[in-house]
Amino acid sequence: MASREPIDHPGRRAACKACIGGLTVGSMAGVGFPVISFLRLPSRAAADRPVEIALDQLQSGQVEYAQQRGQQVIVLSTAEGPLVLSAACTHLGCNVLWDTADRVFRCPCHGATFGETGEVLSGPVNAPLKRIPFEIKDGTLFVT
């Protein structure tokens, strides 16, 4: 009786190595691309650009939210003129929301309320919303 020796298939082995290598590269790219995109720093020019809002677009009592250097700011048109406030609640930093019906800012985290000019009305806060300096030039409000 003839002895049976295993037959080596070099073509099959090479194909398996190629598949494993391809899957490894694909997996690394699938994980690496989002991680690198997340860690990449934002461009400095975009972060330093001022917020520009045309005053004729704002109506009395209307609120506009905008991003300024990574923070959300609120532009409010009042009877006395425009006002710019930080959207961060002074309690824990949650972004406040404008309640048009009651004309107050409400913090969704702990129920604090702030008046139109950022003053504290109720809740666990003891400091008003921070006012942000701005300029008006040629009918446009600039938050710098």
Give the pLDDT score at 44.
Answer: 47
Long-range Cβ pairs for the range 90-95 (8 Å, 24+): 90/125, 90/126, 90/127, 90/128, 90/129, 90/130, 91/123, 91/124, 91/125
Domain boundaries in the chain?
10-40, 46-143
Which pLDDT does position 46 carry in this prediction?
A: 52
Question: What pLDDT is attached to residue 24?
Answer: 92
1, pLDDT greater than 80: no
**Tens-place pLDDT, residues 98-132:** 888 888 999 988 889 998 888 999 888 889 999 88
* Residues shown for the chain: 144
pLDDT of residue 64: 80
DSSP-assigned beta bridge partners for residue 72: 67
Q: Where are the beta strands (DSSP E) in the chain?
A: 51-54, 63-68, 71-78, 81-86, 97-99, 104-106, 113-114, 120-122, 135-137, 140-143
Using DSSP's 3-state secondary structure scheme, residue 32 falls into helix
pLDDT for 66 beyond 90: no
What confidence tens digit (pLDDT) does each residue in 83-103 have? 888 888 888 888 898 888 888
Can you give the pLDDT at residue 121?
92
Write the class of the CATH domain 46-143.
mainly beta
User: What digits encode the pLDDT tens for the residues 12-65?
Assistant: 888 888 899 989 988 888 887 777 777 775 554 455 567 777 777 777 767 888
pTM over 0.75: no
